[in-house]
Amino acid sequence: MQVIVIPCSDQPPVLAQVNDTCVEAGTTLSFGVQATDPDAGQIITLGAIGGPFQVGSSPAVFNSTPAQNVTFGTFSWATNCSHVRQQPYQVVFSAIDNFGLVQLQDYESMFITVVAPAPANPTATPDGNVMQLAWDPSICGNANGYRIYRRQGSYGFVHGYCETGVPAYTGYQLIGTTSGSNSTSFTDPGLAFGITYCYMVVATFPDGAQSYASIEFCNMLERDVAIMTHVSVGVTDNTTGVDTVRWSNAYDLDTVQHPGPYQFKLFRGDGLNTANTLVHTSTLSNFLAHPDTLFIDAGLDTRTTGHAYRVELYGDNGNTLIGPSNTASSVFLVAEPNDEQVTLHINYVTPWINTQFDVYRKIGGVFTFIGSTAQPEYVDTGLVNGQEYCYYVKSTGAYNDPDITAPLINFSQETCSTPVDLTAPCPPTLAINNDCELPLNTFTWNNPNNSCAHDTWRYNIYFTDSLGGEPVLIFTISGADDTLFTHTDGSSVAGCYVVTAIDSTGNESAFSNQVCGDNCPEYTLPNVFTPNSDRVNDRFIPFPYRGVKQIDLQVFNRWGQVVFTTTDPAIEWDGTLNNGGEAVPDGVYYYVCTVVFKRLQGDMPEVLKGYVHIIGGNHSQQN
């Protein structure tokens, strides 16, 4: 091809920037496009291409009239549901001038995402202990289902212009899906009474696209069953422990649909989650203001386990179950001792929300307030190892429903713990000096007592002879200040090391960083030796050699007969037949030696072939 370069005084037109955007299906997207030309008198023509012009239904249009120096165009797209998809549509606008033979151009591109409208008219209707959700079908019949999200309490979410679905930062969690554009109901079971539950719904499409989220819609279950309010430990003991259990009556019960007399049945279970053992049956009452909503549960093991409770409400003289309450447990403390501290893990399962935990420790025989936390964990520090400390916790909580008594105060059992040093020092940091010629590995590390510990007193040295191998304990050094170690694996320095620090109570740190050394192997065989018993060069030995794991040497005479073999890397051939005392004749002998070098990556064999000349005073012919 031929390219001709000529001077050109023309400057290209300039398109104004167009930004990416989103549009809700069923609405019209319209905006202007402008181009200018710095050369006076130039006529600019605008154009546009891209996906919106190629859709089968209601494609986009672009109108523009050529004009001098400045020209305008209008993009317009009446979108519909068939345009909804996960990937955006690209549009490219062009501007071209009319200068002579060479017409210059400019281009600008943008992306347009068509988003389905949010599901409309959502509702949440309480029905016993479930919430019945419903919404209108999406106006986009090509939707293939819906995603349902829930959280406790409202977030106040309003989607951004291009923000589809329900973002995680809102705290909403996906609780279910439905299939089909007309599947517009969902049952949310297992909810707690007195809690405000909020929902949002999103329509989905076959390619993964999601609509805008619906508005938040919220409700709480009606109080048509008993509502647990208290499970409080009154006495801590292995056999004579006491729990105080209270509940609120079913004040929203439809007494026409569920006539009395009414009766409660209280169930208990060990642990915090299930309650299936009947422990109390109330008297019958004709009134919802039932006087019997308190039970003192005695004869329990409250020291080693918490307890869970639930109440069932019966009508029709106690013959018809109206419904169960949610399960609520006592607050159960687990004390975890550590070095000069105790961590209290505050465990519970309640339908109400606990917002504060006040911690009490026995000081001078009296439980004394020492601090509060909003989290189910409290760390009591500055303690003395070996001394026992006893605690209990007071929890404060409430339901969202303002008609339910608040605050709800409950107490845990008493528990005791003795701090003990269970915290290992931090791992040392290793550095190595790998002298492969000496050979010797020398490595050093820092003393953790100078940074993260105070009672390090020995170190464990672990070694593996190859990369990826399992470190094996090879040595223990006593004394925190002794932070240097030298090592060879026989004559090899190939291998990797890690070190751990151990404190005075035996807590061992994690492995340090790994450091590795390697051999610089060498194995050189001489080409002559003189086995004449003058103590100079009397034996066939390698020199120098290092980093050798094993060999397989065979020496042949001129007729191919084997006169000497060995697997000893030092060889030590004295010039006799298989070192048996019968001297072989002077002359030239051929050898084949397979040498296995020990390397960090693993064994590396190498075959050496050569000749050795024996000069020992035995001048008879070789046999």
Q: Kindly write down the DSSP assignment for every residue of 96-147, as one continuous string.
A: E---SS---EEEEEEEEEEEPPPP-S-EEEEETTEEEEE-PPPS-TT--EEE
Give the integer Cα–Cα distance in Å for 452 and 506: 16
Determine the average pLDDT of the residues in 455-468.
93
Q: Is the pLDDT of residue 8 over 80?
A: no
Q: What is the 3-state secondary structure (H, E, C) of 226-271?
A: CEEEEEEEEECCCCCEEEEEEEECCCCCCCCCCCCCEEEEEEEEEC
How buried is residue 305: exposed, middle or buried, by Cβ count under 10 Å (0-12/13-18/19+)? middle
Q: Which residues pair with 359 in a beta bridge?
A: 371, 393
* pLDDT value of position 41: 85
CB contact set of 327 (below 8 Å; sequence gap of 6+): 228, 273, 274, 275, 308, 309, 310, 349, 351
**Is residue 290 very low, low, confident or very high in pLDDT (cuts 50, 70, 90)?**
low
- In whole angstroms, what is the distance from residue 609 CA to residue 507 CA? 55
Report which of 297, 229, 233, 291 is spatially closest to residue 268, judged by C-alpha positions. Answer: 297
Tell me the C-alpha to C-alpha distance, in Å, between residue 468 and each of 394, 464, 477.
52, 8, 25
Tell me the average pLDDT across 110-122.
97
pLDDT (0 to 100) of residue 422: 85
Question: How is residue 583 annotated by DSSP?
Answer: B
Closest CA to 621 of 577, 588, 576: 588
| Residue 423: predicted pLDDT | 86
Two domains, one topology: 332-417 and 430-517? yes
* DSSP letter, residue 561: -
DSSP state of 60: -
CATH 2.60.40.10 matches 332-417 = yes
Record: fold of 227-328: Immunoglobulin-like (2.60.40)
Tokens of 330: 């006592």
Cis peptide before 585 (omega within 30 of 0): no
Phi-psi region of 224 (alpha: psi -120 to 50; beta: other; left: phi over 0): alpha
| Contact in structure between 135 and 203 (CB atoms under 8 Å) | no
420 near 384, Cβ under 8 Å? no
> How far is residue 364 from each of residues 77, 166, 215, 368, 546, measured CA to CA in Å?
80, 54, 57, 9, 71
Per mean pLDDT, which range of 37-41, 347-351, 508-512, 569-573 is the poorest? 37-41
Query: Token pair for residue 185?
Result: 């109901």
Q: Hey, is 58 helix, strand or coil?
A: coil
For position 289, what pLDDT does the model report? 67
Contacts of 27 (CB under 8 A, 6+ apart): 79
What whole-number percentage of the chain has pLDDT above 90? Answer: 80
For residues 581 and 603, give the distance between their C-alpha atoms in angstroms, rounded to a whole number: 35
Question: Can you tell me the distance from the alpha carbon of 213 to that of 20, in angstroms, rounded to the nearest whole number?
Answer: 21
Q: Does pLDDT of 622 surpass 50?
A: no
Letter for the amino acid at 74?
T
Give residue-wise pLDDT tens across range 292-344: 799 999 999 999 999 999 999 999 999 999 989 989 999 999 999 998 999 99
pLDDT in tens, 169-220: 999 999 999 999 999 999 999 888 888 999 999 999 999 999 999 999 999 9
Determine the residue type at 90: Q
pLDDT band at 617 (very low <50, low <70, confident <90, very high): low
Omega before residue 261 within 30° of 0, cis:
yes
Nearest to 209 by CA among 91, 113, 77: 113
For domain 522-614, the CATH architecture is Sandwich (2.60)
Give the strand pairing for 602-614 and 528-529: parallel
Residue labelled with tokens 């607050």: 331
Contact 296, 318 (CB under 8 A): no
CATH architecture of 430-517: Sandwich (2.60)
What one-character-per-residue DSSP string does 343-390 give? EEEEE---SSEEEEEEEEEEETTEEEEEEEESSSEEEEES--TT--EE
pLDDT at position 504 is: 86
Q: What is the pLDDT of residue 620?
A: 47
Q: Rounded distance, CA 95 to CA 107, Å?
A: 7
Residue whose entry in the numeric block shows the structure tokens 């069953």: 225
Residue spans of the domains in the chain: they are 14-115, 123-219, 227-328, 332-417, 430-517, 522-614
- 242-263: b (≥16 Cβ within 10 Å) or e: bbbbbbbbbeebeeeebebbbb
Q: What is the pLDDT of residue 621?
A: 45
Closest CA to 423 of 452, 400, 392: 452
Share of the chain above pLDDT 70, in %: 98
The answer to whether 603 and 466 are in contact (CB under 8 A) is: no
* DSSP-derived 3-state class of residue 427: coil
Look at residue 619 and tell me whether its pLDDT is greater than 70.
no
The rounded distance, in Å, linking the Cα atoms of 113 and 212 is 12
Query: Whose structure tokens read 């290092």?
Result: 546
Name the burial class of residue 568, with classes exposed (0-12), middle (13-18) and buried (19+) by CB atoms within 10 angstroms of its CB. exposed
Element spanning 461, H or E: strand 456-464
Q: Does 85 have pLDDT greater than 60?
A: yes
For the structural domain made of 123-219, what CATH number should be given?
2.60.40.10
Q: Which CATH architecture has domain 14-115?
A: Sandwich (2.60)
Backbone angles phi, psi at 176, to 5 degrees: 175, 170
Nearest to 524 by CA among 451, 589, 610: 610
Of 506, 504, 489, which Cα lies nearest the Cα of 546? 489
Tokens 């829930």 sit on residue: 150
| Residues 393-432: tens digit of each pLDDT | 999 999 988 888 899 999 999 999 999 988 899 999 999 9
Structure token digits, residue 432: 């190595």
Residue-averaged pLDDT of the chain: 93
